[in-house]
Every structure is written in structure tokens, then in C-alpha cells.
């Protein structure tokens, strides 16, 4: 690069600001080529509740299964056999920030048609530690999303009791694709 090119480049980049890095959300590459628009959560009301909380003892694993979800789906989720399509890390963050990030994360995952997520919430050494408060809120908040079909403790190699797998319901598009795929087989 000659000095004139460098000077031109620096002049052109003078007012450019670096993007803010977000290190706690990781999306896996999509298997489909569909492109989706990001969710504008500024227009959505975050319905996740705060306030009084029953702290879940550390010895009690996080687990939830919505009525109608097949046991085989939950067993496969619990064993970590579904590919994790996105992850969210809530370690060492204030509860309100965790609430906002979880809301945005789940809404974006729904919009992107993702089904299998992992959330790393951490674990404290005692029932009243900050990590266990976040863990207890997380258990409440996940049940407040209609899209969340089940969640459970992650396998040890994915974070164990400091993380949880989350299964979201199929989008309308995914249901249609599944129907079409099975309809072709039965012909």
C-alpha cells in the first residue's frame, strides 16, 4: 500500500466507530439459506416477571416439560442429543440485565426458527448466591414463554448444573417442511 492509498483510507474511515461487541450470545450457522430480519425488541414489552422469588435449592435440578411434549423428546433433550443452535451466557450479570438478554435471545431464536438452545447461568456454592438467584429466575422466566416446550440441566461437558438445554416449539414453517417431507415418503 503506498502512502497516498493509506492517507485516502484513513480519511475515509475518520468518523467510523467500532461496533459494540456482544460476547454472551453465540449463534450457530443456519442449515438453511433463508435470511431473517433481526427482532426489534424495543417495540416489544418484556413480560418476564421479577419480584418475589422462590429460590430453587442447588440440589434440585432445573426441569420443565409442557403438557403434550412427548417423553422421548425430553429424554433426548436431557441426554444432550439435540444440536445446540445458539447459546446465551448470563454469568456474573445483574438480574435485570439477564432478564432483558433472555427476552431478546428467546424472541430472536423464535424468529430464526431455532429449536434447541443452551443457556449458561452458572452455579453458586450456596442457595442464596447470585448465580443461584439467576438460575431460579431463569426457571421461572423460561416457563413464561409459550414457545418454550421443555428445559433441563445440561450434560456435564456442556456446563452441567450451571447450564440448561431449552427446547422451543416448531415454527409454522418448520411444521410445514416436516409435513411435506413425511408426505413425500408416504407416496
CB atoms within 10 A of CB 164: 26
pLDDT tens-digit series, residues 109-164: 999 999 999 999 998 877 778 888 899 999 999 999 999 999 999 999 999 999 99
Question: Rounded to an integer, what distance in angstroms lies between the CA atom of residue 116 and that of residue 31?
Answer: 13
Question: Rounded to an integer, what distance in angstroms lies between the CA atom of residue 4 and that of residue 10?
Answer: 10
Give domain limits for the chain.
61-187
Query: Looking at residue 185, what is its pLDDT?
Result: 61
Q: How confident is the model at residue 35 (pLDDT cuts 50, 70, 90)?
A: very low
**Contact between residue 121 and residue 164 where contact means Cβ atoms under 8 Å apart:** yes
Which overall architecture, per CATH, does domain 61-187 show? 2-Layer Sandwich (3.30)
Amino acid at each position: 500500500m503506498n502512502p497516498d492509498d493509506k492517507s485516502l483510507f484513513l480519511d475515509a474511515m475518520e468518523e467510523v466507530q467500532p461496533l459494540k461487541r456482544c460476547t454472551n450470545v453465540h449463534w450457530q450457522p443456519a442449515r438453511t439459506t433463508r435470511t431473517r430480519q433481526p427482532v426489534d425488541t424495543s417495540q416489544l414489552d418484556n413480560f418476564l416477571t421479577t419480584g418475589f422469588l422462590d429460590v430453587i435449592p442447588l440440589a434440585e435440578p432445573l426441569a420443565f416439560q409442557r403438557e403434550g411434549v412427548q417423553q422421548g423428546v425430553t429424554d433426548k433433550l436431557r441426554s444432550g442429543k439435540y444440536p445446540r443452535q445458539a447459546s446465551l451466557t448470563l454469568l456474573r450479570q445483574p438480574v435485570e440485565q439477564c432478564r432483558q438478554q433472555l427476552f431478546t435471545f428467546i424472541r430472536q431464536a423464535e424468529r430464526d426458527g431455532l429449536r434447541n438452545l443452551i443457556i449458561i447461568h452458572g452455579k453458586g456454592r450456596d442457595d442464596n448466591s447470585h448465580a443461584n438467584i439467576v438460575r431460579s429466575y431463569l426457571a421461572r422466566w423460561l416457563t413464561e414463554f409459550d414457545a418454550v416446550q421443555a428445559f433441563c440441566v445440561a450434560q456435564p461437558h456442556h456446563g452441567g448444573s450451571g447450564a440448561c438445554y431449552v427446547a422451543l416449539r416448531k415454527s409454522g414453517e418448520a411444521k410445514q417442511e416436516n409435513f411435506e417431507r413425511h408426505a413425500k415418503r408416504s407416496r
